[in-house]
C-alpha cells in the first residue's frame, strides 16, 4: 500500500511539473517574426492631410501590452512589445489598464483581465506601467512625426471610473501637446505626431470636448450563436460598426470576420473596426492556438474590395500590418 501511495504521489508531482511547464514555460517559446518591411514606421506619410483617420485602413493590435502577461498561456496575445508594434506599422493600440495603489500613490498599469502585464518574462519582472508605454509612444512620434497613434483606453479592472479618468488625465496633462483630445474624429493634419485618445469608459468627469472620442460597444462574446458578426453602435458623434466575437473557435471566428467585413460595407457608418482575435470557446482559452490558424488565413486572403476598416490582430507582425495599410495606396 505504501509503495502504491508513493507511486501516486510521484505521478501527481510529475503531472504538476508538466502542467506548470506547459502553462508558464511554453509561452516563452512563442517567437516573434521580425520580418523587416521597409518604411513601415512611416507609412502614414503617404496619407493625405485632409483624410479622416476613420477613412484609413489601419492595422491594430489586440491587448497590445500583453507580450509578457501573468498566466501567459491564457492571457498572452502579442509576441512583441509596443515599441516593435509601432515600428512595424500598427497604429491602433488596445490599451487595457487598472489602478494600482503603491506606497507613493496611485499608478495605471497594463493588464489583461485579472492578469498583470509585465516588462519581462518572469513572475517577478516589474509590471508594465502606462508611463513606460507613453515614453515609447512619444519617442516613436518624435522620430516619425508624420504618424499618429490611436490610443484606445479601456478600464480593464476596477469600478471607480471617476478615479480612473482623473488619473489617466494626470498622465496626459504632463505632455498635453502630444495628445489629440477632442471628442470628434480628426483629420490627419490635426493629429500627426500625436496620440488620439479613444475612450472605452464614460466621461464621468465631464471633460467634454477634452475627454477623447467615445468608443463603446456591447460585449460580443457570442459562442452560443456563431452566425453573429458585426454590430452597428451609435456613439455620441458618429456611427461605429464593430465585430469583436471573442468566444468563437478559429473556424467560426474566420467566418464571422469575413461576414462582418461584408456586412459593414453595406452599412452607413463613420468608423469600422474588426477584431481577428479570439479566446476560443473554453472559459480559459489559448489565444495563440487560434491566432496561428487565423493569421495564416489572413495572409492568404484578398482584401482588395474591402472598405476602410481598422483590423485588430493577435500575435501581430510587420507583414500583417503591411497587408492592411497597403490597402490605402492601391
- Residue pLDDT, tens place only, 3-25: 776 767 666 777 666 666 666 66
Q: Report the chain's terminal Cα–Cα distance, integer Å.
A: 74
Average pLDDT estimate for 159-178: 97
Contact by Cβ (8 Å): 115, 69: yes
Compute how many other C-beta atoms are within 10 angstroms of the C-beta atom of residue 255.
15
The SS3 assignment for 55 reads: helix
- Model confidence at 241, pLDDT cuts 50, 70, 90, reads very high
Residue 290 included in any domain: yes
- Model confidence at 224, pLDDT cuts 50, 70, 90, reads confident
- What is the DSSP pairing of strand 310-313 with strand 58-61? parallel
- At residue 282, the pLDDT reads 82
Residue 99 included in any domain: yes
- At residue 25, the pLDDT reads 66
- At residue 261, the pLDDT reads 96
- Model confidence at 166, pLDDT cuts 50, 70, 90, reads very high
Compute how many other C-beta atoms are within 10 angstroms of the C-beta atom of residue 202.
13
Residue 135 included in any domain: yes
Judge whether residue 222 has pLDDT over 90.
Answer: no
Residue 193 included in any domain: yes
Count the domains in the chain: 1
CA atoms within 13 A on the CB side of 202: 7
**CATH code of the domain in which 200 resides:** 3.20.20.190
DSSP track, 143-180: H-TT--EEEEEEE-S-S-HHHHHHHHHHHHTTSGGGEE
Length of the chain: 330
Residue 1 included in any domain: no
- Per residue in 36-49, pLDDT (tens digit) is 899 999 999 999 99
pTM attached to this predicted model: 0.94
Degrees (nearest 5) of the Cα angle 292, 289, 317? Answer: 35
Domain that holds residue 314: 31-329
Degrees (nearest 5) of the Cα angle 132, 100, 168? Answer: 60
- Which comes out higher in pLDDT, residue 3 or 200? 200
Percent of the chain whose predicted confidence (pLDDT) is above 70: 93
Residue 20 included in any domain: no
Phi, psi of 110 (to 5 degrees): -80, 145
**Which grid coordinates are listed for 98?**
487598472
Ranges 7-11, 94-98, 148-152: which has the least confidence: 7-11
Residue 23 included in any domain: no
Mean pLDDT of the chain: 93
- Across the chain, where does the E strand assignment appear? 58-61, 92-102, 105-112, 115-116, 149-155, 179-180, 195-199, 213-214, 231-234, 239-243, 271-275, 310-313
Average pLDDT estimate for 256-262: 96
- Which comes out higher in pLDDT, residue 2 or 54? 54
Residue 176 included in any domain: yes
Amino acid at each position: 500500500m505504501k509503495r502504491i501511495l508513493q507511486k501516486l504521489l510521484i505521478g501527481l508531482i510529475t503531472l504538476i511539473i508538466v502542467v506548470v511547464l506547459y502553462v508558464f514555460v511554453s509561452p516563452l517559446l512563442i517567437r516573434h517574426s521580425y520580418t523587416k518591411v521597409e518604411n513601415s514606421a512611416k507609412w502614414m506619410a503617404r496619407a493625405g492631410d485632409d483624410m479622416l483617420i476613420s477613412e484609413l485602413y489601419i492595422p491594430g493590435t489586440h491587448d497590445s501590452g500583453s507580450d509578457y502577461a501573468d498566466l501567459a498561456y491564457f492571457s498572452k496575445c502579442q509576441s512583441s512589445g509596443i515599441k516593435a508594434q509601432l515600428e512595424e506599422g500598427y497604429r491602433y493600440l488596445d490599451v487595457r489598464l487598472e489602478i494600482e495603489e503603491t506606497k507613493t500613490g496611485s499608478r495605471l498599469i497594463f493588464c489583461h483581465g485579472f492578469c498583470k502585464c509585465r516588462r519581462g518574462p518572469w513572475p517577478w519582472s516589474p509590471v508594465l506601467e502606462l508611463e513606460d508605454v507613453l515614453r515609447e509612444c512619444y519617442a516613436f512620434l518624435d522620430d516619425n512625426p508624420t504618424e499618429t497613434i490611436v490610443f484606445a483606453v479601456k478600464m480593464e479592472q476596477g469600478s471607480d471610473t471617476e478615479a480612473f479618468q482623473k488619473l489617466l488625465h494626470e498622465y496626459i496633462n504632463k505632455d498635453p501637446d502630444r495628445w489629440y483630445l477632442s471628442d470628434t474624429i480628426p483629420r490627419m493634419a490635426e493629429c500627426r505626431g500625436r496620440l488620439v485618445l479613444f475612450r472605452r469608459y464614460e466621461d464621468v468627469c465631464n471633460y467634454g470636448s477634452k475627454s477623447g472620442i467615445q468608443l463603446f460597444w456591447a460585449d460580443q462574446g457570442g459562442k452560443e450563436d456563431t452566425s453573429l458578426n458585426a454590430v452597428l453602435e451609435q456613439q455620441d458623434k458618429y456611427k461605429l460598426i464593430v465585430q469583436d466575437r471573442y468566444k468563437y473557435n478559429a473556424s467560426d471566428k474566420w467566418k464571422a470576420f469575413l461576414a462582418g467585413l461584408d456586412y459593414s460595407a453595406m452599412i452607413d457608418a463613420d468608423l469600422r473596426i474588426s477584431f481577428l482575435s479570439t479566446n476560443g470557446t473554453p472559459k480559459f482559452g489559448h489565444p495563440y492556438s487560434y491566432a496561428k490558424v487565423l493569421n495564416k488565413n489572413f495572409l492568404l486572403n484578398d482584401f482588395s474590395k474591402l472598405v476602410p476598416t481598422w483590423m485588430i490582430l493577435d500575435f501581430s507582425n510587420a507583414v500583417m500590418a503591411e497587408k492592411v495599410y497597403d490597402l490605402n495606396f492601391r
